[in-house]
Amino acid sequence: MSLKFEIVAKSALGGRRARLDLPHQVVETPVFMPVGTAGSVKAVAQDVLENLGTQIILGNTYHLYLRPGHEAIRRMGGLHRFISWPRAMLTDSGGFQVFSLSQLRKVTDEGVQFRSHLDGSSHCFTPEHSVDVQLALGADICMAFDECTEYPADRKRAEESLRLTMAWAKRSLEHFRTHRESVVWRDEFGGCTQSLFGIVQGGMYGDLRRECAGRLTEMKSDEMEFDGFAIGGLSVGEPRELTLEMIAEVLPLLPRDKPRYVMGVGYPDEIEQYAKLGVDMMDCVLPTRAARHGLLFTSEGRVNIKNKQYAEDQNPPDPNCKCMVCRRYTRAYLRHLMQAGEALSGTLNTIHNLAFYLGLMERVRGEIAAGAES
């Protein structure tokens, strides 16, 4: 047993209010997952994340593989223990960072050869290796190794990318099935294992997306299927209408009884929209990265806290927010911290933005449940 997914309520539009039961946490969905790149949701301590109601965070396989190394993390009891995060965790496959951060990539059917962006050292990720790294990290949910098609990509490129992703998905599933018992916390959690999600690619071609979804949902290794499905390769520069179009193409083809995850989105209005259409999980660096650059998301819209107009503004960042930052600090103080280059700036801005994102998803969960009842 690895994952249970129980739908509590459905809305007319397709939104689902569900409970995703993972070894480390029962996650109430739809859920937004803060990104904890290299074993830290940047600038925020774990107890603060807990107080914010964070249910699940993301770890980046590429970063953790390079530093401190997945074998070291396994020896220390897995990523949960290493970073002292008792709740749920998901790791990506490393694919996206290999393509976006590393140098001198060489892609073959076997996998990807690349050089570390840290020290130029040479490495190779195959589907099997990505799964091995993720088994060592021990997140509750692992992702199949895929190739994220860039935007724009012509049809031939998208087809070729899809062919690789399908072959790699199958190999990821095979390798995961035969090695999943190895996760370090298995005994501690009554024999539970991790889960593996497949990733739908296909660029911005609806028919390729549908083909991919169809093949992935039917893919099996022995009796094992994917435990959930992600839609990847979105939010890579395409217009938002196209993002929505691709999601709308794929969602109806995904099994209703398994979680659906759209990777790397998005702005607050986007994640609300997608959740209400039936997306159960989303992640994005936007709230955390924007915070470090002074962009706050509030109930009154975006606030660029660097602006001079806030120099003596004694209102909280968001007058309708009850987070620990809005209860204690003023816009003027947050602006000053940013101007003065104080580390506390990134911390407080990030806490507010995460509170806003998590609060938004809590509201959406309530609305889906309420809409379903009426």
Q: List active site positions.
A: 92, 283
Of 26, 76, 167, 370, the one binding its own copies by CB under 8 A:
76
Instruction: Determine contact, residues 291/346, Cβ cutoff 8 Å.
Output: yes
> How many whole angstroms from its chain centre is CA 166?
21
Distance CA 342, CA 336 (A): 9
User: Binding its own copies by CB under 8 A: which of 21, 159, 238, 342?
Assistant: 342
The closest of 217, 91, 62, 246 to 158, measured between CA atoms, is 246
Closest by CA position to 92, among listed 70, 60, 114: 60
Q: How far is the CB of 89 from its own copies (least distance, A)?
A: 15
Residues 116-175 that bind its own copies (CB under 8 A): none
- Can you tell me which of 8, 242, 253, 332 binds its own copies, judged by CB under 8 A? 332
DSSP string, 103-159: EEEEE-SS-EEEE-TTT--EEEE-HHHHHHHHHHHT-SEEE-------SS--HHHHH
- Which residue's structure tokens are 């979804």? 213
Q: Any residues with CB less than 8 A from the CB of 202 and at least 6 apart, and which?
A: 149, 158, 162, 208, 209, 210, 211, 212, 233, 246
At closest approach, how far in Å is the CB of 257 from its own copies? 37
DSSP code per residue over 269-303: HHHHHHHHHT--EEE-SHHHHHHHTTEEEETTEEE
CB of 84 to its own copies, least distance (A): 5
Interface residue with its own copies among 39, 202, 233, 259 (CB under 8 A) is 39
Residue with smaller CB distance to its own copies, 60 or 243: 60
Contact flag: residue 82 with its own copies (CB under 8 A): yes
Nearer to its own copies, 42 or 179 (CB): 42
Mark 56-75 with x for binding to its own copies (rule: CB under 8 A) and - for no binding.
Answer: -------x---xx---x--x
Q: Of the two residues 118 and 370, which places its CB atom closer to its own copies in the complex?
A: 118
The answer to whether 336 contacts its own copies (rule: CB under 8 A) is: yes
Q: Dihedral of CA 326/332/334/335: which sign?
A: positive
Minimum separation from the CB atom of position 233 to its own copies (A): 27
Residues of span 292-331 touching its own copies by CB under 8 A = 311-312, 314, 324, 328-330
For residues 260 and 331, which CB has a smaller minimum distance to its own copies in the complex? Answer: 331
Give the list of residues 6+ apart from residue 368 with CB closer than 8 angstroms, or none.
9, 10, 11, 15, 16, 17, 30, 275, 276
Minimum CB–partner distance for residue 6 and its own copies (Å): 32
* Interface residue with its own copies, options 8, 14, 40, 224 (CB under 8 A): 40
Cβ atoms 108, 126 nearer than 8 A: no
Provide, rounded to whole angstroms, the least separation between the CB of residue 198 and its own copies. 30
**How many angstroms separate the CA atoms of 256 and 260, rounded?**
9
CA distances from 14 to 21, 29, 186, 329, 360 (A): 21, 13, 35, 39, 18
User: Which is closer to its own copies, CB of 195 or CB of 347?
Assistant: 347
Least CB distance to its own copies at residue 77 (A): 8
The correct pick among 149, 243, 347, 349 for binding its own copies (CB under 8 A) is: 347
Of 110 and 312, which CB lies nearer to its own copies in the complex structure? 312
Query: Of 70 and 175, which has the nearer Cβ to its own copies?
Result: 70
Q: Are 243 and 282 in contact (CB under 8 A)?
A: no
Question: Would you list the DSSP string of 197-237?
Answer: EEEE--TT-HHHHHHHHHHHHH--BTTB--SEEEE-S-SSS
Check residue 45 for interaction with its own copies (CB under 8 A). Answer: yes
Of the residues 10, 14, 21, 42, which one makes contact with its own copies according to CB under 8 A: 42
Instruction: Please give the residue ranges that form the binding site for its own copies (CB under 8 A).
Output: 38-40, 42-47, 63, 67-68, 72, 75-77, 82-84, 311-312, 314, 324, 328-330, 332-333, 336-337, 339-340, 342-344, 346-348
